């Protein structure tokens, strides 16, 4: 091969390499292999169910399997940290939530990653309200009677949660502080035991997702007295917000969505977002999320970013005021 031919071969090879890199960066061939969606909680919970629902839809539209990988531990920090360290190529994603993306950064002093910088928000998937539920035999029918009862109770009230630092724990701290009442926190090992504690009368109230508590309310074993959101919910339209009940407006919605490692190319983020938004408009997806007590969202990456920032600030203030510590 002559010197000229060698030079042309090198130029051609460099051109092909540059084209390949440009294509990869643009997301033009993405995805070309299976995508791993890490769920930082155990299987079968509401967050896991929502993640599997959106993963199935993305598998259909992206033409590649989106495989769920459950990585529970430390309130979701274990799985989240793994994704934070993953290559920013769009093939490892995190199904994050209000607890992992907004609560944990304030609660865990050593997460192993900077939650504000480690991820690139892709799209909000689901959002749902939490409600205040009380023991069914209490002589209380609304939030004002709840406050009056709490102030007169000789031993005060107690509330249960899924554990120290859980969203339910911090939501109850947010509520009691805004209402100007005192209550003793009794942590349990999980949401089901916390709800059962209120049903049995071990504690007087708890705050949890509407999808988790509605069956007990319908059966008359619990009473629902308020929704902790900025608007009423279609799941229980009779429940007033704290503002409508005459108190300080507070919001403690639970939400979940997909984020990618920081540095993931924007074209890949945009492609994933388009498919998420499209999937969330399908009737079967909306119906299945509704069964979980949530509403399909479908935000832009920028909107999801703002939500995470706003929620992080709010929960950081609650953690500081309450002195909450993680289990």
Written as six digits, the tokens of 305 are 């970013």
Domain borders along the chain are 34-128+254-322, 130-228
The answer for 63, left when phi > 0, alpha when psi is -120 to 50, beta otherwise, is left
Residue 15 CB contacts under 8 Å (≥ 6 apart), including other chains: none
**pLDDT value at residue 8:** 45
Which CATH number fits the domain 130-228, given the four candidates 3.30.1490.20, 2.60.120.260, 3.40.190.10, 3.90.870.30? 3.40.190.10
The dihedrals phi and psi of 128, each to the nearest 5 degrees, come to -150, 160
**pLDDT value at residue 3:** 46
**pLDDT value at residue 115:** 86
Spell out the per-residue pLDDT of the chain, length 327, in tens: 454 344 444 434 444 444 444 444 444 699 999 999 999 999 988 899 999 999 999 999 999 999 999 999 888 999 999 999 999 999 999 999 999 999 999 998 888 888 889 999 999 999 999 999 999 999 999 999 999 999 999 888 999 999 999 999 999 999 999 999 999 999 998 889 999 999 999 999 999 999 889 999 999 999 999 999 999 998 899 999 999 999 999 999 999 999 999 999 999 999 999 999 999 999 999 999 999 999 999 999 999 999 999 999 999 999 999 888 887
Q: Give me the residue label for tokens 């119906």.
A: 287
Peptide bond before residue 31 is cis, with ω within 30 degrees of 0: yes
The third-level CATH classification (topology) of the domain covering 34-128+254-322 is D-Maltodextrin-Binding Protein; domain 2 (3.40.190)
Fold agreement between 34-128+254-322 and 130-228: yes
Q: Where are the alpha helices (DSSP H) in the chain?
A: 3-26, 46-62, 77-84, 98, 104-107, 115-118, 143-152, 167-179, 191-200, 210-218, 266-280, 283-291, 301-322
Contact 240, 112 (CB under 8 A): no
> What is the DSSP-derived secondary structure letter of residue 241?
B
Rounded to whole angstroms, the Cα distance separating 226 from 244 reads: 9
């Amino acid at each position: 091969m002559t010197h000229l031919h060698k030079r042309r071969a090198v130029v051609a090879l460099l051109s092909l390499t540059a084209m390949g890199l440009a294509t990869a960066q643009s997301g033009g061939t993405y995805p070309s292999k299976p995508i791993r969606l890490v769920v930082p909680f155990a299987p079968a919970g509401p967050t896991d169910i929502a993640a599997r629902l959106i993963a199935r839809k993305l598998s259909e539209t992206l033409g590649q399997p989106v495989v769920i990988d459950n990585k529970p531990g430390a309130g979701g920090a274990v799985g989240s940290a793994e994704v934070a360290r993953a290559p920013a190529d769009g093939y490892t994603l995190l199904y994050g939530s209000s607890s992992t993306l907004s609560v944990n950064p304030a609660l865990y002093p050593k997460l192993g990653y900077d939650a504000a910088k480690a991820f690139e928000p892709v799209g909000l998937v689901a959002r749902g309200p939490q409600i205040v539920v009380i023991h069914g035999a209490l002589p209380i029918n609304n939030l004002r009677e709840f406050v009056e009862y709490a102030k007169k109770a000789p031993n005060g009230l107690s509330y249960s949660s899924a554990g120290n630092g859980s969203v339910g724990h911090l939501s109850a701290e947010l509520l009691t502080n805004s209402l100007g009442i005192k209550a003793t926190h009794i942590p349990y090992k999980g949401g089901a035991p916390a709800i059962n504690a209120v049903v049995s009368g071990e504690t007087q109230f708890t705050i949890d997702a509407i999808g988790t508590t509605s069956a007990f309310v319908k059966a008359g074993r619990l009473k629902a007295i308020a929704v902790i959101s900025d608007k009423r919910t279609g799941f229980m339209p009779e429940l007033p917000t704290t503002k409508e009940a005459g108190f300080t407006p507070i919001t403690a919605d639970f939400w979940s969505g997909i984020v990618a490692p920081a540095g993931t190319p924007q074209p890949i983020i945009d492609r994933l977002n388009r498919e998420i938004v499209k999937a969330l408009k399908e009737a079967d997806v909306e119906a299945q999320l509704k069964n979980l007590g949530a509403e399909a969202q479908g935000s832009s990456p920028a909107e999801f970013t703002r939500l995470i920032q706003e929620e992080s600030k709010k929960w950081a203030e609650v953690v500081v005021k309450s002195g909450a510590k993680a289990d």
